[in-house]
Structure 1
Amino acid sequence: MGVSGVGKSTIGSLLSKKLGIPFFDGDDYHPESNILKMSKGEPLNDKDRLDWLRTLNRLAVNQLKTNSCIIVCSALKEKYREILAYSIESKSKWVFLNGSFEHILERIKNRKGHFMPAHLLKSQFETLEIPKNAIEININQTPNNIVEIIKNEIISKSQFGLFGLGVMGKSLCRNLASKNFRISMFNRHVESKEVDVAVNFKNEFEELSTALAFDDIEFFVNSLQTPRKIMLMVNAGKTIDLVIEDILPFLSAEDILIDGGNSNYNKTKERFDYLKSKNIHFIGTGVSGGEQGALKGPSIMPGGDKEVYEKVKPFFEAIAAKGENNLPCCSYIGPEGSGHFVKMVHNGIEYVEMQLLAEVYTLLKALGNNPDQMADILESWKETNSYLLEITIDILRKKEGDDWLIHKIMDKAGNKGTGNWTTITTAQLGVPSTMIASALFSRYTSFYKDERTAASINFEAKDNSKPNITNTDILKAYQFARIMNHYQGFKLIIEASNSYKWELNLSELSRIWTNGCIIRSDLMVNLVEVFKSTDNLLTSDIIIQQLKSLKPSIKKVVSQGVLNELPIPNLSESINFLNCFTTANSSANLIQAQRDYFGAHTYQRIDDKSNKFYHTNWI
């Protein structure tokens, strides 16, 4: 691309012969009306160009079905280039031939038989919008030199880089390579510990045969097309900052770094601002789905500048899981750290979903079921299917020898911090996500194994009778608690969106969580439609009716759990929260009176609509 007279046709023709792929001159596809207009000395307008650009786009799309091609076209505006590359963005690469007005004008004056007169060159320079993402080459070189530069830049360089070959990094590499992207992979070299990790990984899988493998950062960065797109798949926290400092010296302006780990959204904002000062773009991206999800299709939650996201969008959408209508489970979330924020809340919701299934396990066990019988019961719960329910069934069926494996697993649940961050954030924003906090503290409680064992002796249950509940009661209680969990999680997201002015779309967020991620479920599919009309689940008629019909069962199950001394904190919290939230006149008036008594914190009166604050001398 470039203005008329830069030598596009000459360079394109030479490059075509060098690469052995077809060459097409965009000028040959102009309709007669355009040629006639230009030959009269009249510049083309956007309407004149539209059908011409669409024709060239169809040409490119058809060529890519069997091979590749080179098309030369002025493509002076960004919107022209968007039309030309429509639906094939990830397979397109722009080469911008640039030169001075005087140099190009001299060329045009000397060429013969072309329909465009020299005086139109000025209008072309005025129209030109210099592309940000193109190989830019000055035409003050021989055509053969220019062709070599282009060949070396496009053919030998990768489109996308992965930094860090842990479990998720390896799966994403294989996913990208299987979608025919040329990738570069990096893993550090640690003598006698991590040696030739990238090379050995490349040799292990056929789909990585064209991938480039490195353990040297400079070589890795230089192997990528510019502007570079590098996804960091390393541990969250200080490691990310160390990697950024290691890689920065080798980056160029407009390069894009993507943090695909579970980073804290506040740190993502700091890194975004820091890298912006270095003229480097940063995208904080939540990736959910675990090892298999990353390999076969995860749910992807990118946050940052929208125009920067557009440059990595083709890669993300290609590797993402596909939902209804084959739409990718990937969508631009919002600015700054919003991508990592929603991934953090996703994990908070996940904590609760896992805890609820653990409590269902507790109840079914109390009814005398063995793991196989529990799996049969859960398998019959078709109306509440989810990924976590599916894997719980598999876990319960797994045997080791004559016993079930679940009986041999230590009851100490770990965590990697996202549940902790979610709980801190919900407190900072003043949002009552009580079930997430309860699930987190249940994990903390589980870790005190020795103390729990001792306490179980001192507080041994006197009544060992079975709870007076049915499998159906448990199912309905579980369904009730799941709705309350999703209410609280999405409430936290929308309150953060309002606080930070992110303008998050809950329906779209639900959509990308319908497949590929850990919390995918039939309930999430239903929420896509519910959130099209409200951001508050407790105002939805559908949800209200569901909760009303399920409420008797949750009350019965929680009551029986308490009476039989069964630990079901999240099931209990789900009904306790709704009872609190649906109480118009709560006991908080007493708390505010206490605060005024000992601290003169004042209070408002229900019989004064002016919102005036009062203080009483209580003694």
Structure 2
Amino acid sequence: MNLNNVIFIMGVSGCGKSTIAQLLSKKLDIPFFDGDDFHPQSNIDKMSSGVPLNDDDRHGWLVTLNELAKRQLEDSNCIIVCSALKKSYREILNRGIQNQVKWIHLAGSFDQILGRLNKRENHFMSSNLLQSQFDTLEAPENAFVVNIGLNPEDIVEKIANKIKMKSEFGLFGLGVMGKSLSRNLAQKGFKISVFNREEKGTEEDVAINFKKAYKELETTQAYSDIEAFVNSLQTPRRIMLMVNAGKITDLVIKDLIPFLSDGDILIDGGNSNYLKTKDRYDYLKSKQINFIGVGVSGGEQGALIGPSIMPGGNKETYNLIKPYLESIAAKDANNLPCCTYIGEEGSGHFVKMVHNGIEYVEMQLLAEVYTILKAMGNNPDEIANILESWKAEADSYLLGITIDILRKKDGDDWLVNKIVDKAGNKGTGNWTTIATAQLGAPSTLIASALFARYTSFYKEERLWASKNFNINPSSLHLDLQDVLNAYQFARIINHYQGIKLISEAGRTYNWELNLSEIARIWTNGCIIKSDFMVELIPILKTDDNILKHATIINKLKALKPSINKVVSQCILNELTASCLSESVNFLNAYTISNSSANIIQAQRDYFGAHTYQRIDDDTGKFHHTNWN
């Protein structure tokens, strides 16, 4: 169902707002209201005495018009005439209905309007107040501007054509995610334009055929020509790029720039590197084009029914696209959108990158659990049943889909048994590992999960090695509760490391990140949503280090004997459990009061004169020794 819209016709007194509104009301067959009719008597008396209204005078009047708009929007479209001269006034009028407001600015010169004003009779506002209106006027950035020099019928025709023909949001790229997001936006009532390139003989009429395939896209405009696509959008144009990260994104931006105008907004919804997002932001800023990097998680289905969305960039620019992103996002337990402003520059893509790093580990841990349960003599159906029983204590999206995967049959066998054991990746795990090294944060599990995938890819070498090293994993005898406990232990460490990495990036790049809010938007719509993520929301309100929280400390203490047992048995029985093993190794290293790093520092001083500090010197002075 399409959302209703309110058309605010603005401009200084005497520009013809009421006349145009009446004509437009008849043409579009929708009601109109003159804002002047809603002034309190105190405002009318003040203006009649020749005294300009101040902001306090106008505030209550603007709130009244906002409430009028909200009431009307429940049933129909409408037109409201209001001078709305200041940006702050328009913000009050927009409040709560931003994505349903269309602004029309009737503009003219002082002399032009003064001549008109002097011809009016029986109006409470005298012509000597006109200069104060021009002095007050702050030209809107996102309004359709019409010159009042045209005759009224032509003005109305231009406005009607603008409102009818222009889409409010554009999607560039109709891959899996682009198509799902387009349908999501259309289902929420937004009028959109979609674009996809054409390749003769291979990809033809992609956008048009996509529009024809879904009823909700009936009012969508479909294009294969970039200029026509850009021109179909209201200004400032809001264009979301759903293309492959890397050089393709830069090529698309290059193709779009000639057709864009100052103030237009490009939104990169792909898995771009956060450093490239910063570069693109700076480059486009020099061309007066706004740029927002948006992380989108949830896959094809999530993008359609509600993903988790992580936008980063200039906050004022974000506010211009906020209604669209929040409308299509998943909703949390309190029905709030799983979309929040992350921070400046490439922070949105950074947070999405770390989300993917946490995802790598969660997937690897489930793969290791599968290996352990298989070594205990269980077939895929039995493993699925065991994992199903874990939902009460450790439910998550990835646990749920793993259960479905294990139950899927292909003929007489389980499909998982027929899948080649080579895990691919698209680069985000690699970027996260590089980032954690650059920032000096010990996200060791993400690196372990990444290298486990890399190792898996050497299938031919592994086949050769399995014959020549004679390492044959033997059956395991473990308590199922211990396996669950080990899994929960490793997941806590994974979330600590991922969140800590985000926190370190925030400090390094001066991003003001709200970690609790980030956890909240990860509670639905995304790949790493889980019951544990919900637990982290209040914890992260008090500290960015979840290992300082009493609840987490007590959990890890209770779970540690189990992971010690599981990891040691895996090693003794020659079974790989890289992330389970690394999680306990990390906590052992993290919690030891006196580590072996003193040896390393002595070695560094020996060969490189890098100096060291002494435990018996409270001054913090650095020392050097001639070790020979």
TM over 0.5: yes
1:446 aligned onto 2:456: yes
Distance 2:277 2:564 in 1: 42
> Is the counterpart of residue 414 in structure 1 residue 393 in structure 2?
no
- 2:251 aligned residue: 242
How far has the Cα of 1:278 moved from its partner?
0.3
Q: 2:46 corresponds to which residue?
A: 37
Question: Which amino acid in structure 2 is aligned with residue 181 of structure 1?
Answer: F
* 1:12 equivalent in structure 2: 21
The aligned counterpart of 1:386 is 396
Any conservation in 1 of the 2:394–2:488 contact (CA below 8 Å)?
yes
| 3-state secondary structure, aligned to 2:623 | coil
- Structure 2 distance, partners of 1:275, 1:38, is 45
In structure 2, what is the Cα distance between the partners aligned to 1:115 and 1:202? 52
1:484-519 Cα shifts (integer Å, max 9, x gaps): 000000000000000000010100000100000000
Counterpart of 2:600 in structure 1: which amino acid? I
Q: Deviations over 1:313-348 (max 9, x none)?
A: 000010000002110000000011000000000000
Give the drift of 1:126.
Answer: 2.1
Corresponding position of 1:80: 89
Letter in 2 for 1:612: K
- Secondary structure at the aligned position of 1:326 is classed as coil
| Pair 1:363-2:372 in alignment | yes
Which amino acid in structure 1 is aligned with residue 136 of structure 2? T
Question: Distance between the aligned counterparts of 1:245 and 1:421, measured in 2?
Answer: 25
In the TM superposition, 1:216-255 aligns within 5 A as 216-255=225-264
2:595 counterpart SS class:
coil
Residues 222-245 of structure 1 deviation map (CA, whole Å, 9 limit, x = unaligned): 000011000000000000000000
Residues in 2 aligned to 1:128 and 1:142: alpha-carbon distance in whole angstroms: 23
The 5 A counterparts of 1:316-465 are 316-381=325-390, 382-461=392-471, 464=474
Tell me what 1:584 maps to. 593
Pick one of 468, 484, 496 that aligns with 2:505: 496
SS in 2 for 1:543: helix
Counting only pairs closer than 5 Å after superposition, residues 159-198 of structure 1 correspond to structure 2 as 159-198=168-207
- Give the structure 2 partner of residue 264 of structure 1: 273
Aligned partners of 1:167, 1:96: CA distance in 2, in Å? 39
| Farther off after superposition, 354-363 or 56-65 | 56-65
- Which segment drifts farther, 573-582 or 40-49? 40-49
- The equivalent residue for 1:611 is 620
TM-superposed CA distance for 1:141, in Å, is 1.7
Matched-pair identity in %? 69
Letter in 2 for 1:432: P
Q: Which runs of 4+ in 1 moved over 4 A?
A: none
Q: Which moved more, 1:329-338 or 1:35-44?
A: 35-44
Q: 1:95 — aligned with what?
A: 104
Instruction: Say which SS state the counterpart of residue 380 (structure 1) adopts.
Output: helix
Q: What letter is aligned with 1:95?
A: I
Structure 1 counterpart SS, 2:613: coil
> What secondary structure, in the 3-state scheme, does the structure 2 residue paired with 1:324 have?
coil
In 2, distance between residues paired with 1:545 and 1:422? Answer: 29
The residue identity in structure 2 corresponding to 1:421 is W
1:122 corresponds in structure 2 to 131
Kept in 1, the 8 Å contact 2:473–2:575? The answer is no
**1:17: how far off?**
1.1
Aligned partner of 2:66 among 57, 82, 95? 57
Q: Deviations over 1:29-82 (max 9, x none)?
A: 112222112111122222222222122112212222222011110111112111
Query: 1:129 is aligned with what amino acid?
Result: E
How many Å apart are 1:611 and its aligned residue?
2.0
Amino acid at match of 2:212: N
State the partner residue of 1:528.
Answer: 537
Following the alignment from structure 2 to structure 1, what is the Cα–Cα distance between the partners of residues 102 and 415?
53
In structure 1, the residue corresponding to 2:296 is in which secondary structure?
Answer: strand
Secondary structure of 2:382's aligned partner = helix
Residue type of the alignment partner of 1:451: E
Which region of structure 1 is more displaced relative to structure 2, 134-143 or 432-441? 134-143
Q: Distance in 2 between matches of 1:618 and 1:70?
A: 85
1:289 maps to which of 277, 294, 298: 298
Structure 1 unaligned regions, length at least 5: none
Instruction: After superposing the two structures, state which structure 1 stretch, 126-135 or 497-506, moved more.
Output: 126-135
Distance 2:535 2:188 in 1: 30
1:133 and 2:142 are equivalent in the alignment: yes
How far apart, in 2, do the equivalents of 1:447 and 1:95 lie? 58
Cα deviations by residue, 1:455-474 (Å, 9 ceiling, x for unpaired): 1122234673x323211001
User: 1: distance between equivalents of 2:203 and 2:471?
Assistant: 52
Distance (Å, rounded) in 2 between the aligned partners of 1:244 and 1:296: 28
**Aligned mates of 2:90, 2:334 — CA distance in 1:** 28
Question: What secondary structure is seen at the aligned counterpart in 1 of 2:334?
Answer: helix
CA-to-aligned-CA distance 1:181-224 (integer Å, 9 cap, x gap): 00000000111111000000000000001100000000000000
Deviation track 1:362-414 (CA, whole Å, cap 9, x = no partner) reads 11001101111111111111111000000000001111111111110110000
> Which amino acid counterpart does residue 387 of structure 2 have in structure 1?
L
Farther off after superposition, 95-104 or 319-328? 95-104
Please give the alpha-carbon distance, in whole angstroms, between the structure 2 residues aligned to 1:350 and 1:463: 27
Shift of 1:565: 0.7
Shift, 1:610, TM fit: 2.0
Structure 2: give runs of 5+ residues left out of the alignment.
1-9
Return the alpha-carbon distance in structure 2 between the equivalents of residues 461 and 347 of structure 1. 32
Indicate the larger mover: 149-158 or 425-434. Answer: 149-158
- Measured in 1, the distance between the counterparts of 2:57 and 2:556 equals 58
How far does the alpha carbon of each residue in 1:284-336 deviate from its partner, in whole angstroms, 9 at most, with x for none? Answer: 00000000000000000011100000000000010000002110000000011
The one-letter code sitting in structure 1 at the alignment partner of 2:198 is H
